[in-house]
Structure 1
Amino acid sequence: MKVMLLMWSDGSYAGGDADEDYAAWMEYEKTLRDDGVFAGAGQFAETDEVRATTTTISTPLADPPRPAAGLSGYYLVDVADADAAEDYARRAPLYGYVEVRPIAEY
């Protein structure tokens, strides 16, 4: 099953792109690749850049905004089941939380 791991930053990180944090992310991605579950990844632009280049549209069914958090990136993984997806989500070296969203397969 394909699952999107959405990385939400809680805003608490103030490390200034520390080498050890970069290394932790490289190790995380290496694990995904070595385990054969990596299907894609991406990082979103910083919040100020996003405001300057995108438009947000509210809809009647929209969820309320997530205060003090920013969607920072994602990993797309192809795993055996939801338990495996949650295990990989727990391993992410993130200052925040990971939203685990299965991808619809038709």
Structure 2
Amino acid sequence: MQYLLMIYSEEGRWNQMTDSERQQGVAAYQAYTESLKKAEVLAGSNRLQHTNAATTVRLVDGKPQVLDGPFSDSKEQLGGYYLIDVPNLDAAIAWASRCPGAGYGTMEVRPIWTAPYDAPSAA
């Protein structure tokens, strides 16, 4: 089953780190990514640009309303993700807990909807 491991952190934190801390952070993510590849569970991953590059779109009275920036202000922002394919939620949680992002932010683990959507029947 596929799970999306979403990494939430304070995006300004990177700029507050020393060069040495940044190098250690990059190395930690490279090692984590390699371990996912070696275990053959990595389906995809990406780092996201900062929220000031985000565009939010919603429909208002059937017309698109486009806003610069994220949908909401919060202390932590979605900074990147890993898409993994593992047997169950316990395995996904184990991988999420090994991610460097778990040490300084929050990891959200969410299963991917793989089946066609079936609307619940009215009872």
Instruction: Please state which band the TM-score falls in when normalised by the shorter chain.
Output: 0.7 to 0.9
Which structure features the higher share of strand residues?
Answer: 2
1:76 is aligned to: 83
Structure 2: 5+ residue stretches without partners: 61-70, 116-123
2:58 is aligned to: 57
Comparing both chains, which one has the higher relative contact order based on Cα–Cα distances under 8 Å and sequence gaps of 6 or more? 1
2:111 is aligned to: 102
Read off the aligned partner of 1:2 and give its amino acid letter.
Q
Structure 1: 5+ residue stretches without partners: none
Q: Do the aligned partners of 1:11 and 1:96 also contact (CA within 8 Å) in 2?
A: no
2:44 is aligned to: 40
1:89 is aligned to: 96
2:17 is aligned to: 15
Task: Return closer, same or farther for 1:28/1:9 CA change in 2, 3 Å cut-off.
Answer: same
Read off the aligned partner of 2:111 and give its amino acid letter.
P
- Measured against aligned partners, the alpha-carbon deviations of 1:5-58 in whole angstroms (never above 9, x if no partner) come to 0111145732156111000000000010001100000111112222xxx12438
- TM-score, L = length of structure 1: 0.82
Task: Return closer, same or farther for 1:16/1:90 CA change in 2, 3 Å cut-off.
Answer: same
Instruction: Figure out how many residues of one structure are paired with residues of the other and give that number.
Output: 99
1:57 and 1:92 map into 2 onto residues whose CA distance is 32
Higher Cα Rg, which structure: 2
Q: CA RMSD in A?
A: 2.2
- List structure 1 segments (4+ residues) > 6 angstroms apart after TM superposition: none
Give the counterpart of 1:31 among 31, 35, 38: 35
